[in-house]
């Protein structure tokens, strides 16, 4: 049977190397590993920006960050950016969201168009094309707290007491010895959450995804099941808080002392999360909880797959498993994400297509470089549609999934960063318009152009851990020049000409006279 539904699963802040199938020696992710055996795993997949908001906007629009413009968390996306749902709905798929998107609409833009962000086309535009079945971005809302999620109401119905139940139940811990039980405190990562496992964010959202699938009935669907974890607060419910120990923590990638520190990297190393994560005690406390949260997701995916199987949906549902970016966890002397090191930029990506045409590729591992923006054209093609190339900037992975790969492939991937909202901007004394950077990564080189500083350059062949920044080295000037030209070429190719298709152009070129414009005749 050909696929008719899509389950698009995203974990948040999950590093590429924290799965069994991607090589972690002790983590237990049998369900995700089985998906990889049934489908195709893209081993070199990169996000377009290593921050939730811009990365997701690229996933959901199929466009680079420069093109969609949502360059940081809560930087609004334009009212007329097309999202995944806008492409899936015309193919007959009801497209909904269970979980996080971190997207915020441009309210002034919607108002100018007379659109209501809470209803009708305005709502879909505000949600970047998703029907918000159960949207929950996680995170405590802006202080003061205003409960506004279905999950919050659920926790209350379960009898949890407090003001902000997201924080006090799901993201605080049970410890008798201290009143400081907030999950924000990383030292609390060894304790279980106040909320029981069945009431955790991961468990709740998995059930809500099942609710949607049942509600969809016979209508084909595309569901974005978007987990908030293992994103911080790094606290897991019992028993996942005690599944892993210090012995599961691998040595860090400590390159922070070597070579001349780039000013922007250095400014990020001064952030509190970087300072803490450079301490072994912090890593040894947090990473086991981080791993427990990943195993928990794997267990719930097992339930979801069983659910699909029992309802006869497993054989007609494409399953995607990925993440929006990684987490430094102390590597490079950094905490959190952002910048461009592999630990933040590289993500897992597995696509499992039940269609018979995909039998040729089951269990395949693709080493070619893939970008997050490739997902939308891939899904459109798997569902039999024609990608809107006047807007979409990625490439379809369908030839890898249903064949033996495309004829020719990209030799570089691109990403961007805008740290205008981070303390690093103040450290560096920059204006909000001066905080952007752009990366090109080839199989050999990673190059970063900074608006106000010298570039970064890493030789991935001789220095795969990116511990030696060659961007200030005059011996690599010609490599830098070449990379700069690639960035310039790439920038010049961004798709702002979104209203005109190449087909229209091909059919109209040089035909002005036929349309009655008879200029140039003596």
Nearest distance, CB of residue 69 and its own copies, angstroms: 4
Nearest distance, CB of residue 22 and its own copies, angstroms: 25
Q: Does residue 159 belong to the site contacting its own copies (CB under 8 A)?
A: no
Q: Around Cβ 515, how many Cβ atoms within 10 Å? A: 8
* Residues in region 197-236 near its own copies by CB under 8 A: 232-233
Q: Does residue 122 belong to the site contacting its own copies (CB under 8 A)?
A: yes
Nearer to its own copies, 347 or 487 (CB): 487
Among left, alpha and beta (phi > 0; psi -120 to 50; other), residue 429 is left
Regarding beta strands 131-135 and 413-418, do their DSSP bridges make them parallel or antiparallel, or are they unpaired? unpaired
Nearer to its own copies, 217 or 408 (CB): 408
- Name 98's bridge partners: 134, 225
Report the distance separating Cα 413 and Cα 490, nearest Å. 10
* Residues in region 81-120 near its own copies by CB under 8 A: 82, 86, 104-106, 108-109, 112-115, 120
Report the distance separating Cα 94 and Cα 86, nearest Å. 10
Quick check: helix, strand or coil at residue 436? strand
Quick check: helix, strand or coil at residue 477? helix
Q: Does residue 479 belong to the site contacting its own copies (CB under 8 A)?
A: no
Which of 176, 177, 218, 514 binds its own copies (CB under 8 A)? It is 514
* Rg, C-alpha atoms of the chain: 23
Q: Does residue 454 belong to the site contacting its own copies (CB under 8 A)?
A: no
Which of 402, 425, 441, 446 binds its own copies (CB under 8 A)? It is 425
Nearer to its own copies, 315 or 482 (CB): 482
* Residues in region 318-337 near its own copies by CB under 8 A: 335-336
Q: Does residue 149 belong to the site contacting its own copies (CB under 8 A)?
A: no
Which of 282, 320, 372, 439 binds its own copies (CB under 8 A)? It is 282
Stretches 15-23, 29-37, 214-222, 426-434: which one binds its own copies (CB under 8 A)? 426-434
- Name 449's bridge partners: 438
Binding mask 240-259 for its own copies (x = CB under 8 A): --------------------
- Name 404's bridge partners: none
Quick check: helix, strand or coil at residue 491? helix
Which of 41, 94, 271, 332 binds its own copies (CB under 8 A)? It is 271
Which of 88, 216, 289, 487 binds its own copies (CB under 8 A)? It is 487
- Give the residue carrying structure tokens 């030789």: 459
Which of 423, 443, 464, 477 binds its own copies (CB under 8 A)? It is 423
Which of 70, 225, 235, 392 binds its own copies (CB under 8 A)? It is 70
Q: How far is CA 475 from CA 55, 163, 259, 479, in A?
A: 34, 59, 15, 9
Which of 143, 146, 163, 179 binds its own copies (CB under 8 A)? It is 143
- The total number of residues shown for the chain amounts to 522
For 225, the enclosing helix (H) or strand (E) is strand 221-226
Which of 157, 247, 462, 509 binds its own copies (CB under 8 A)? It is 509
Quick check: helix, strand or coil at residue 252? coil
Query: Could you give phi then psi for residue 361, rounded to 5 degrees?
Result: -115, 5
Report the distance separating Cα 329 and Cα 286, nearest Å. 8
Residue count, binding to its own copies (CB under 8 A): 96
Angle between helical axes of 375-382 and 52-61 (0-180°, round to 10): 30
The DSSP output letter for 110 is H
Structure tokens, 502: 């190449």
Nearest distance, CB of residue 93 and its own copies, angstroms: 16
Which of 311, 431, 444, 464 binds its own copies (CB under 8 A)? It is 431
Which of 67, 193, 202, 323 binds its own copies (CB under 8 A)? It is 67
Which of 260, 359, 386, 502 binds its own copies (CB under 8 A)? It is 502
Stretches 292-300, 376-384, 404-412, 429-437: which one binds its own copies (CB under 8 A)? 429-437
Q: How far is CA 319 from CA 7, 9, 108, 308, in A?
A: 5, 7, 36, 11
Is the bond into 230 cis (omega within 30 degrees of 0)? Answer: yes
Q: Does residue 178 belong to the site contacting its own copies (CB under 8 A)?
A: no
Nearest distance, CB of residue 357 and its own copies, angstroms: 29
Q: Does residue 433 belong to the site contacting its own copies (CB under 8 A)?
A: yes
């Amino acid at each position: 049977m050909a696929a008719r539904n899509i389950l698009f699963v995203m974990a948040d802040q999950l590093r590429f190397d924290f799965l069994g199938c991607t090589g972690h020696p002790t983590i237990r992710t049998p369900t995700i590993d089985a998906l990889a055996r049934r489908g195709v795993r893209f081993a070199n997949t990169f996000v377009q920006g290593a921050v939730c908001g811009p990365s997701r906007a690229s996933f959901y629009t199929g466009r680079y960050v420069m093109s969609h413009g949502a360059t940081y968390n809560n930087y609004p996306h334009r009212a007329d950016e097309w999202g995944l749902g806008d492409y899936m709905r015309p193919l007959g798929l009801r497209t909904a969201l269970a979980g996080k998107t971190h997207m915020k609409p441009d309210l002034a833009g919607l108002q100018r168009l007379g659109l209501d962000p809470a209803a009708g086309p305005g709502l879909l535009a505000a949600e970047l094309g998703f029907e918000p079945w159960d949207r929950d971005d996680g995170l405590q809302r802006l202080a003061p707290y205003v409960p506004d999620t279905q999950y919050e109401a659920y926790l209350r119905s379960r009898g949890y007491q407090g003001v902000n139940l997201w924080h006090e139940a799901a993201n605080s811990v049970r410890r008798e010895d201290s009143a400081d039980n907030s999950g924000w405190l990383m030292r609390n990562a060894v304790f279980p959450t106040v909320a029981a496992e069945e009431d955790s964010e991961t468990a709740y959202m998995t059930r809500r995804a099942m609710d949607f699938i049942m509600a969809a009935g016979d209508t084909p669907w595309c569901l974005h099941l978007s987990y908030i974890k293992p994103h911080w607060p790094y606290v897991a419910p019992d028993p996942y808080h005690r599944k892993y120990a210090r012995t599961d923590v691998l040595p860090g990638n400590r390159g922070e002392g070597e070579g001349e520190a780039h000013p922007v990297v250095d400014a990020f190393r001064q952030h509190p999360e970087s300072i803490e994560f450079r301490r072994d005690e912090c890593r040894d406390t947090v990473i086991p909880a981080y791993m427990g949260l990943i195993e928990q997701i794997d267990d719930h995916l097992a339930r979801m797959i069983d659910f699909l199987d029992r309802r006869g949906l497993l054989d007609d549902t494409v399953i995607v498993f990925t993440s929006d970016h990684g987490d430094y966890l102390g590597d490079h002397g950094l905490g959190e994400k952002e910048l461009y090191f592999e630990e933040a930029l590289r993500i897992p990506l597995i696509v499992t297509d039940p269609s018979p045409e995909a039998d040729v590729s089951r269990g395949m591992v693709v080493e070619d470089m893939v970008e997050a923006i490739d997902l939308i054209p891939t899904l459109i093609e798997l569902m039999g549609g024609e990608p809107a190339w006047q807007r979409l900037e990625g490439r379809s992975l369908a030839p890898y999934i249903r064949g033996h790969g495309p004829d020719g492939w990209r030799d570089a991937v691109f990403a961007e960063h805008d740290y205008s909202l981070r303390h690093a901007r103040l450290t560096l004394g920059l204006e909000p318009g001066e905080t952007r950077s752009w990366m090109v990564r080839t199989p050999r080189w990673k190059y970063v152009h900074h608006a106000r500083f010298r570039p970064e350059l890493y030789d991935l062949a001789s220095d795969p851990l990116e511990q030696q920044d060659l961007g200030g080295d005059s011996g690599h000037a010609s490599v830098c020049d070449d990379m700069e030209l690639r960035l310039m070429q790439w920038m010049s190719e961004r798709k702002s000409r979104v209203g005109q298709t190449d087909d229209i152009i091909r059919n109209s070129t040089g035909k002005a006279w036929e349309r009655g414009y008879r200029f140039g005749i003596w």
